[in-house]
Amino acid sequence: MSSTTLGVTLEGHVAQLKRDLDGILVHEAALSGLAAALLASFAQGGKMLTCGNGGSAAEAAHLAEELTGRFYRERKSLPGMCLSIDGTLLTCIGNDYGFEEIFARQVESLGRPGDVLIGFTTSGNSENVLRAIQRAKERGLITAVFSGKTGGKMKGLCDYEFIVQSEHPSAMRVQECHQLMLHVLCEKIERVVLGIE
């Protein structure tokens, strides 16, 4: 049995991904803006917070570890924290306040004016990410969202938005495009930190 018998080919996936990647080129200026906002926050003693659910939680964690650890070059650690990874804390807040509050409650505790909150939601409609963004805005944080399709409820809400308008019916293409943008974001930040730009 060949993969073409199943209707799935690597060639088809690559062709779709190429179309989607062409579509994210419109985000170049916003990526530079977000990189500058993060660098300004770090320079003032601020930090980056990230959040998301499921695969988006993995994206959020990946970005935080690339900045706290390192991405490509040796450099000082940068303050990044993912709000999606502490199971004990998430279940505590979820049990006492509801799943919708698991990130917002952490933003309330950890977020300071000038910090940056980056939310990940492929639909743009994740209620707990939406509430975190709203709480962050109330507290004076800079906000960004990586989403997909139409941007959902998040569209127009954040200081920086990265909406991947993939034709693919699942979230995977959106997340693949997010991953590339996150790597570009990390490289932009590292180059400035190291004085390359």
Determine whether the annotation assigns residue 165 to a binding site: no
Consult the annotation and say whether 126 binds a ligand: yes
Please count the other Cβ atoms lying within 10 Å of the Cβ belonging to residue 56: 26
> What whole-number distance in Å separates Cα of residue 94 and Cα of residue 105?
10
Amino acid at site 50: T
Amino acid identity of residue 146, one-letter, is: F
Q: Indicate the DSSP class of residue 153.
A: G
Of 165, 187, 169, residue with least CA distance to 21? 165
Q: How far apart are the first and last CA of the chain?
A: 52
Whether 9 has a binding-site annotation, put simply, is no
Is 122 within any annotated ligand binding site?
A: yes
**According to the annotation, is 68 in a ligand binding site?**
no
Residue 178, token pair as written in the block:
């997010």
Residue 95 marked as a ligand binder: yes
For strand 48-52 and strand 80-82, is the pairing parallel, antiparallel, or unpaired? parallel
Is 96 known as a binding-site position?
Answer: yes
Q: Annotated binding residue at 54?
A: yes
- Residue 121 marked ligand-binding: yes
* Longest CA pairwise span in the chain (Å): 59
> Which of 91, 33, 34, 55 is CA-nearest to residue 173?
55
Q: 123 among the known binding-site residues?
A: yes
Binding annotation for substrate: 53-55, 66, 95-96, 121-123, 126, 175
Binding annotation: 53-55, 62, 66, 95-96, 121-123, 126, 175, 183
Binding annotation for Zn(2+): 62, 66, 175, 183
